[in-house]
A = this chain, B = another copy of it.
Amino acid sequence: MTTFVLASQSPARLGVLRNAGVEPVVRVSNVDEDAVAAALPAGTTPENVVIELARAKARDIAVAIADQGRALAEAGRALPGEFTDSVVVGCDSMLLVGGQLQGKPLTPEVARARWAEMAGRSADLLTGHSVLRLRDGEILSEAADCSTTTVHFAKPEPEELDAYIATGEPLQVAGSFTLDGMGGWFVERIEGDPSSVIGIGLPLVRRLLAQVGVGATQLWSDPAH
């Protein structure tokens, strides 16, 4: 059986995968995202930025797995599944409001300013994924792409926005909202894949897995449950 390695520490991504039948091995990369982005050619599209960031994270984990696998083998230790047959999935998401990249607001003041701009308007959520097929520490094949989902925001009343910001939820998420939490009250509609908005686009990952020769359902932890 092929092991699914999630190269992300996001609890939201892990939750989507678990609900979708996959219990991944979680590995968190040490990629300097700012350095990766800065090294891209001028004029790189936002779509290619999220793809390259996802790829950098997946490769970082693939290298770590290869190194640890060698060390374990040399020590005569048994190799867990991710070292022998696995797919590593890297992820990166960004929200563009009026063409501008939105990060985490971190403070109530910034979150309030962002919502003043977003309310009643739409934004594009870009999610990039990189899928690496690993066998015994070697990268056999690789696929990557990006999906874009348009999110249409409601206009929260001032007291609703106060209550939402007071929960703290929007402060730590890129774009100042969640689709699957309390922010869901304030998203009127989307055009695209809701799982990509939460952070891991299941239909896109399925297509990329097929490109490296793995069926998504082969990764389900208990296909018969």
Contacts and interface: CB of A to CB of B under 8 A. Distances in A.
Interface stretch (A29-37, A47-55, A175-183): A175-183
B19 A216 contact: no
Chain copies in complex = 2
A216 B160 contact: yes
Contact of A16 (B16, B184, B189, B225): B184
A157 interface: yes
Contacts of A184: 16, 19-20, 194-195, 202-203
Interface of A: 16, 19-21, 149, 154, 157, 159-160, 163-164, 166-168, 179-182, 184-195, 202-203, 206, 215-218, 220, 223-225
11 contacts: A16-B184, A19-B180, A20-B181, A154-B203, A157-B215, A159-B215, A163-B223, A184-B202, A188-B203, A189-B203, A190-B192
